[in-house]
Structure 1
Amino acid sequence: MKKKPFVLMLAILLTLALSACSSNGDNSNGNKAEEPIEPTVSVKEMVDKMLADIEQPNLMELDADGVKQQYHVDLGLLEEYSVRIPMMNVKSNELAILKVKDAKDISDVEEAVKKRAADVQKSFEQYLPDQYENAKNYKIVTKGNYVLFVISDQADAFVKSFERFFEQK
């Protein structure tokens, strides 16, 4: 006789737990979770602002050939990009924002960026141990069609700065 109330109570608790965990894909702003806010500035402006706010060693902008060679990415997949690498090969710091034309290509771009991270690590592995450690702690963050890649001892600050471009104003 005592099993029925226990089973009933267990079923009610399970139902409540499942309904509390479910989601309809909307966030608190009423926007669909898969439709992030589009930044109002270009990728280059994003990178310039981030570098103005977060001090880094001297970084130079990579041209299209440099991006294609060093990042192993098909530039045809990108709508816009800005990539900064060290002027001299004594620092591992890098900053790149790549805007992908089609969301289906994001995983290909992320894989290309991971290959770049491995290349940077390899170049410092036997050369400068502190820069090798820095290169191992890279960050890749994707927001909508944008991919952020950063190697820096201040990578978390770059991620926060990047995410601010996607906040509701």
Structure 2
Amino acid sequence: MTKKKGEFTVLRNIRAGMVIILLIYIGLIFQSKGDSDTPFADVQKAVVDAADDKNMTLAGTQEIKRFYGINPKDYEDITLYYTNETMGVNELLLVKTKDENEAEAVEKAAEQRKKTQLDNFEGYGAEQVKLLDASIIKTKGTYVLFVISPKAETVEKAFTKSLK
């Protein structure tokens, strides 16, 4: 009988350990949801300031639809800056979706835009291709960032920091 009692103790300890691991995992999930509470204007200011590109123009609804194939009215907030240089590829897209499920559609639109630009500059725009290859698409909570810039990593850090 003592053998069975020892087995039950081991099983109880394993079960307790699994419950603790599950609680930690759930806590981490809820902690990451806080990203969506940051006001869009704060995140926008952080990433635009980090990009620090005077050759970029704020896009309107038509440009967003033309470049990305998405309707800005479908999202909580959206901003796009694009280069006004003929051979430039610099862009900064920031979207706050209504929920995290919509973020995937924005990511796909950004991937498609990147592919289109790579196709446009492949073979003759070595610098443009280099920037496109180094572009960053990042999702955090309900926010999606797509940046093509020599300062892409700086913009990404500003994005992440603004959502903490």
Q: Normalising by the residue count of structure 1, what TM-score does the alignment of the two structures yield?
A: 0.75
> What are the Cα deviations for residues 76-105 of structure 1, in whole angstroms up to 9, with x where unaligned?
421111101101222211111011123222
Residue in structure 2 matching 1:33, options 26, 31, 34: 31
Counterpart of 2:143? 146
Q: Distance in 2 between matches of 1:70 and 1:118?
A: 12
Counterpart of 1:135? 132
Q: Normalising by the residue count of structure 2, what TM-score does the alignment of the two structures yield?
A: 0.77
Please report how far the alpha carbon of residue 47 of structure 1 lies from its aligned counterpart in structure 2 after TM superposition: 3.2
Report 1:36-75 matches (<5 A): 36-37=34-35, 38-42=37-41, 46-56=43-53, 58-75=55-72
Regions of 4+ moved over 6 Å = none
**Contact 2:82-2:90 within 8 A present in 1 as well:** yes
**Contact 2:46-2:162 within 8 A present in 1 as well:** no
**Contact 2:77-2:97 within 8 A present in 1 as well:** yes
Residue 104 (1) aligns with residue 101 (2): yes
Counterpart of 2:155? 158
Say which SS state the counterpart of residue 30 (structure 2) adopts: coil
Q: Which moved more, 1:58-67 or 1:33-42?
A: 33-42
**One-letter amino acid matched to 1:93:** N
Q: Distance in 2 between matches of 1:41 and 1:103?
A: 15
Please report how far the alpha carbon of residue 75 of structure 1 lies from its aligned counterpart in structure 2 after TM superposition: 2.8
Q: Distance in 2 between matches of 1:122 and 1:67?
A: 19
> What are the Cα deviations for residues 100-157 of structure 1, in whole angstroms up to 9, with x where unaligned?
1232221111111110111121222133211111112211111111100001122111
**Contact 1:47-1:95 within 8 A present in 2 as well:** no
Say which SS state the counterpart of residue 127 (structure 1) adopts: coil
Residue in structure 2 matching 1:121, options 103, 118, 127: 118
Please report how far the alpha carbon of residue 34 of structure 1 lies from its aligned counterpart in structure 2 after TM superposition: 4.3
Counterpart of 1:78? 75
Identity %, equivalent residues: 22
Say which SS state the counterpart of residue 27 (structure 2) adopts: coil
**Greater RCO, CA 8 A, separation 6+:** 2
Equivalenced residue count is 150
The structure where helix makes up a greater share of residues is 2
> What are the Cα deviations for residues 22-75 of structure 1, in whole angstroms up to 9, with x where unaligned?
633214xxx813412321342xx5334433344335100110011011111133
Segments of 5+ residues of structure 1 without an aligned counterpart are: 1-10
